[in-house]
């Protein structure tokens, strides 16, 4: 079975540039999560979608970050303009519904470096 | 803040059982215990979860104490590929409680 697919795996760009990270969740999953991982702060939830609707974006660091989920099989996380402190590994995860709550399944992440 | 406490690191000999403890003394009656691991450069991988009974799957066993204040993840025959950071997470079993709060985990090193 295909897992969560993220692209690109690595991204290096200069500060001020727009960055777009992409995620394809597992087919049939209706919840999607974006996380960020840094050495200093560990894994942090940025935003959560349910049935393509953003439910909680309280983890989004600032207005430079935005996320969309135009359909059940695709989501993007955009940073504009990017800054060096945005350098991190960004993970996408998805889960289904049901009782008990289904575990989240993670992609292999996008390693982002802002120079 | 993470609701779990784990030792920062552990070593285990290859082929032996790896026993990873987790303290969750403030766990509530409706909270499940989830375990994930993260191998270097990969995303967190789901291992197992449970409420109060012991659980076993193809990857591991989960032993939860009767008072549910602690649990142990057991990898019965550790291999070098099990070297990873292991996270213990508690999560309420109610709709809308989607957040995982990852702590710092236990860095397990399996030695040849």
Residue A104 sits at the chain B interface (C-beta within 8 Å): yes
* pLDDT band (50, 70, 90) for residue A2: confident
Q: Which among A108, A101, A92 has a CA at the least distance from the CA of A24?
A: A92
What would the pLDDT profile of B76-111 be if each residue is shown by its tens digit? 999 999 999 999 998 876 655 677 888 889 999 999
Q: Which among B47, B31, B48, B40 has a CA at the least distance from the CA of B91?
A: B31
**Chain CA centroid to CA A74, Å:** 11
What would the pLDDT profile of B21-70 be if each residue is shown by its tens digit? 999 998 888 888 999 999 988 999 999 999 888 999 999 999 999 999 99
Q: Which residue of A has its CA nearest to B102?
A: A43
Q: How far apart are CA B52 and CA B62, in angstroms?
A: 10
* pLDDT band (50, 70, 90) for residue A7: very high
- Asked if A4 and B91 come within 8 Å (Cβ–Cβ), the reply is no
- Asked if B46 and A4 come within 8 Å (Cβ–Cβ), the reply is no
Q: Count how many Cα atoms sit within 13 Å of the Cα of residue A1 in the half-sphere of its side chain.
A: 8
Q: How far apart are CA B102 and CA B2, in angstroms?
A: 6
Q: Is the pLDDT of residue A48 over 80?
A: yes
- Asked if A104 and B100 come within 8 Å (Cβ–Cβ), the reply is yes
CB-based burial label for B87 (10 Å; 0-12, 13-18, 19+): buried
State mean pLDDT over A39-64.
91
Q: Which among B100, B90, B92, B71 has a CA at the least distance from the CA of B33?
A: B90
- Asked if A93 and B43 come within 8 Å (Cβ–Cβ), the reply is yes
pLDDT score, position B95: 56
Tokens found for residue A82: 């990017």
Least CB–CB distance from A43: residue in B41, B51, B102: B102
Q: Is the pLDDT of residue A54 over 90?
A: yes
């Amino acid at each position: 079975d295909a897992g969560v697919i993220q692209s690109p795996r690595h991204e290096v760009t200069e500060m001020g540039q727009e960055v777009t990270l992409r995620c394809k969740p597992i087919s049939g999953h209706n919840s999607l999560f974006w996380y960020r991982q840094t050495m200093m702060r560990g894994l942090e939830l940025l935003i959560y979608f349910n049935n393509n609707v953003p439910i909680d974006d309280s983890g989004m660091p600032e207005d430079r970050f935005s996320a969309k989920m135009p359909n059940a099989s695709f989501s993007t996380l955009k940073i504009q303009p990017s800054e060096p402190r945005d350098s991190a590994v960004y993970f996408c995860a998805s889960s289904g519904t049901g009782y008990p709550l289904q575990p989240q399944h993670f992609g292999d992440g996008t390693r982002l470096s802002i120079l | 803040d993470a609701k779990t406490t784990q030792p920062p690191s552990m070593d285990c000999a290859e082929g032996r059982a790896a026993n990873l403890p987790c303290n969750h003394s403030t766990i509530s009656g409706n909270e499940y215990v989830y375990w994930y691991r993260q191998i270097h450069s990969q995303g967190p991988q789901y291992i197992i979860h449970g409420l109060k009974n012991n659980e076993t799957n193809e990857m591991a066993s989960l032993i939860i104490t009767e008072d549910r204040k602690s649990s142990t993840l057991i990898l019965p025959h550790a291999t070098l590929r099990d070297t990873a950071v292991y996270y213990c997470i508690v999560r309420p079993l109610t709709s809308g409680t989607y957040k995982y709060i990852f702590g710092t985990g236990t860095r397990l090193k399996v030695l040849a």
